[in-house]
A and B are shown apart, each in its own frame.
Chain A
C-alpha cells in the first residue's frame, strides 16, 4: 500500500489501458468483417484489404504522404539538430530569446493557425517573387518541416542538456576542430535522439490533416486528407483495413525501437528515462 501498488491504482491502470486500446482493437477486429455494415459481424474476411489495395485514390495519397514524410523528417532532423545545438551549447548570442521562442512556439500553436498563416505566406510570396508557383508538395513539405523541426529541437536540446559537456570540452582541449567534435563525440551520443526525432517528424508529417489541408493545392491530397473526406461521410470498412496496417507497422516499429533503446541503455547502464518519449524530456 505504501509503495503505491494498491488495488485502486492497479484497477485504474487496467481501465486506462483498456480505454486507450479499445478503439484500436475494434478497428482491427472490424477490418476483418465480411459485412459492409461495419458494426454488424458478417464473418471473417480479408475482402477490405483487397479493396484497399485496389483503391487508386488512397494508394496515390499514401505514396505522396510517404514521400513528403521522408523529406520532412530528414530536413527537420538537420534543422532541428542545429537549432537544438545552438540552444543547448552556444550560450548567449544575439537574438537568442527570439530564437528560443520561435523554436518552442510551433509546439503550442494551434494547427489551424499554423496552417492559415503559412498559406497566407505562400500566397504573398507567389505574389511578390513568383515562388512557390501554386501550392502542392513543396508547400506541404515546407509547412511540415517547420513544425517538425521544433519537436526535433526540443528532443535534441533535452538530450544535450543531459550530456556532460566535459566530453566535448576535453576533445576541444586536445585540439579537435568543433565540427569534428560534433561528428565524432556529440552525434554518436545523441544518436538515439536523432533517430527518435526523425521518427517523430515522419509520424507527425504522415499524420497531419489540418496544416496540409490549408497549404495543399489541387491534385496534392495527402493520405489524411483523403481519409478525412471518406470518414466524414461515415464509417468505411476500407479505412478500418488501412488503420490496421498502420497499427501493425507502428507496433513493430515502436517495439523494435523500445527493445533497441533498452538494450543500448542497459549497455550504458544509464537511467532508463525518456528516450522513447521524445516530446517530454
Chain B
C-alpha cells in the first residue's frame, strides 16, 4: 500500500480487517493473558495481569502456575495424547473408507457424479448435533443394532456399544467422512485418465498401476482431507460428550468441563493455549509450507 491508494481499495480491506483484529486476534491475546493469571473467586474469576505497584509503575505479573498445573496433573497430558490418538486413528479410518468412494465418484459418469456428490454433501447440511444424536438410538443397549441382532438370535445379551471408545470412533468417522471424500475426489478427478492407459500400454497390471501411479499422485488429496478430519476431531466435544463414556478423555471435553463445571477460567485458558501450541500450530505450519509447494 505504498503511495496514493485508491480509497475504494482501502475501504474493501478495512472492514473485514478490523473485524478480524477485534473478534479473532484480540480474543486470542486475552486467552494468552488470562492463561498467565491467577484464578480468583470473583467476577470475572481471574486476577488482573497488569497491576500498579506501590510506586505507581505498571507491572506485569506472569503466573506460570496454570501451565505447571497442566504438566503436573497427568489428566491433561493423557487427554492430549488420547485426543491425538483418537483423531489419528479416525483419520486413517476415513482415508481407508473414503478413498474407494472418492475414486468411484471420480470415475462415474458426469450425471451419476453430480448425484453422488450431492448424496455425500447432503448430510453435511443437516444438523451435526442431530446426526450424532441419531447414533444413540442405534447403538444403545436396547437400540436398533442390539434389537436386530437379538431378534435374529445372533446374540442373547446386548452388546455394550454406547459410552465406549468404539462409539466415539464411529461418531468421528461418520461425521467427518465427507470432509475426506470431497478433497480426495477433487484431486482424483483432476488426474488424467490416460495415466491408466499409459501404464497399461507399458504392461503394468491395474493394481500396480494404482499403487505406483495413481496413489502417489493422489497423496495431496489425502493430506488435504486428513487435515480437514484430524484438526476438528482433536478438539471434538459433542461426539465424546454424547457417545463416549465418562472415561473417554478428550481435550475439548476437558476444556469444556474446566470452564463450565470447575469455573476455572485461567486453567481453561492454559489448556487452550497448550492445544494451540501443541496441535494447531504445527499443523498450520505444515499446511502453509505444503500450500507453498503446491503453488510452485
Known contacts: A121-B27, A239-B133. The answer to whether A272 contacts B110 by CB under 8 A is yes
- Tell which of B16, B122, B134, B275 has the most Cβ of chain A within 10 Å: B16
Q: How many residues of A contact B (CB 8 A)?
A: 98
Residues 43 to 81 of chain B near chain A (Cβ within 8 Å): 44
- Say whether A253 contacts B255, CB under 8 Å: no
Residues 12 to 28 of chain B near chain A (Cβ within 8 Å): 12-13, 15-17, 19-28
Instruction: Report B-chain residues with C-beta under 8 Å of the C-beta of A145.
Output: 19, 23
Instruction: Report B-chain residues with C-beta under 8 Å of the C-beta of A44.
Output: none
Known contacts: A112-B235, A146-B23. The answer to whether A10 contacts B206 by CB under 8 A is no
Q: CB of A235 within 8 A of chain B?
A: yes
Give the distance to chain A from B46, nearest Cβ to Cβ, in Å.
9
Known contacts: A102-B25, A108-B231, A209-B129. The answer to whether A16 contacts B97 by CB under 8 A is yes
- Say whether B12 contacts A86, CB under 8 Å: yes
**Looking at the complex, which one of A106, A123, A231 makes contact with B136 (CB distance below 8 Å)?**
A231
Q: CB of B244 within 8 A of chain A?
A: no
Residues 1 to 43 of chain A near chain B (Cβ within 8 Å): 1-5, 8-10, 12-13, 16-17, 19-24, 26-27, 30, 37-40
CA of A149 to CA of B177 in the docked complex: distance in angstroms? Answer: 24
Interface of chain A: mostly helix, strand, loop or mixed: helix
Q: What residue in chain A is nearest B233 (Cβ atoms)? A: A110
- Say whether A20 contacts B118, CB under 8 Å: no
Known contacts: A13-B104, A243-B134, A246-B127. The answer to whether A93 contacts B31 by CB under 8 A is no
CA of A277 to CA of B104 in the docked complex: distance in angstroms? Answer: 17
- Say whether B130 contacts A239, CB under 8 Å: yes
Instruction: Report A-chain residues with C-beta under 8 Å of the C-beta of B130.
Output: 27, 227, 239, 242-243, 246
CA of A273 to CA of B137 in the docked complex: distance in angstroms? Answer: 36
- Say whether A255 contacts B118, CB under 8 Å: yes
- Say whether B126 contacts A247, CB under 8 Å: yes
**Looking at the complex, which one of B34, B104, B138, B280 makes contact with A109 (CB distance below 8 Å)?**
B280
Known contacts: A99-B17, A113-B276, A254-B122. The answer to whether A13 contacts B101 by CB under 8 A is yes
Instruction: Report B-chain residues with C-beta under 8 Å of the C-beta of A227.
Output: 127, 129-130, 133
**Looking at the complex, which one of B16, B174, B206, B238 makes contact with A153 (CB distance below 8 Å)?**
B16
- Say whether B97 contacts A116, CB under 8 Å: no
Residues 64 to 112 of chain B near chain A (Cβ within 8 Å): 97-98, 100-101, 103-108, 110
Residues 232 to 281 of chain A near chain B (Cβ within 8 Å): 232, 234-235, 239-240, 242-243, 246-247, 250-251, 253-255, 258, 262, 272-274, 276-277, 279-280
Q: CB of B166 within 8 A of chain A?
A: no
CA of A27 to CA of B123 in the docked complex: distance in angstroms? Answer: 13
**Binary interface profile of B, 213-253, with partner A (CB < 8 Å = 1, else 0)?**
00000000000000110011011011001100000000010
Q: CB of B268 within 8 A of chain A?
A: yes
**Besides A20-B178, A79-B16, 12 other A-B contacts (C-beta < 8 A):** A13-B116, A23-B174, A37-B142, A108-B280, A111-B232, A113-B235, A227-B133, A231-B136, A234-B136, A235-B140, A273-B186, A279-B228
A residues bordering B, Cβ < 8 Å? 1-5, 8-10, 12-13, 16-17, 19-24, 26-27, 30, 37-40, 79-80, 82-83, 85-86, 90, 93-95, 99, 102-103, 105-106, 108-114, 116-118, 120-121, 123-124, 127, 142-143, 145-146, 149, 153, 178-179, 199, 203, 206-207, 209-210, 213-214, 224, 227-228, 231-232, 234-235, 239-240, 242-243, 246-247, 250-251, 253-255, 258, 262, 272-274, 276-277, 279-280
Leading 3 A-B pairs by shortest Cβ distance: A110-B235, A23-B134, A117-B27
B residues bordering A, Cβ < 8 Å? 1, 6, 8-9, 12-13, 15-17, 19-28, 30-31, 34, 44, 97-98, 100-101, 103-108, 110, 113-114, 116-123, 125-131, 133-138, 140, 142-144, 147, 174, 177-178, 181-183, 186, 189, 193, 196-197, 200, 206, 227-228, 231-232, 234-235, 237-238, 241-242, 252, 255-256, 259-260, 265, 268-269, 272, 275-276, 280, 283-284, 287
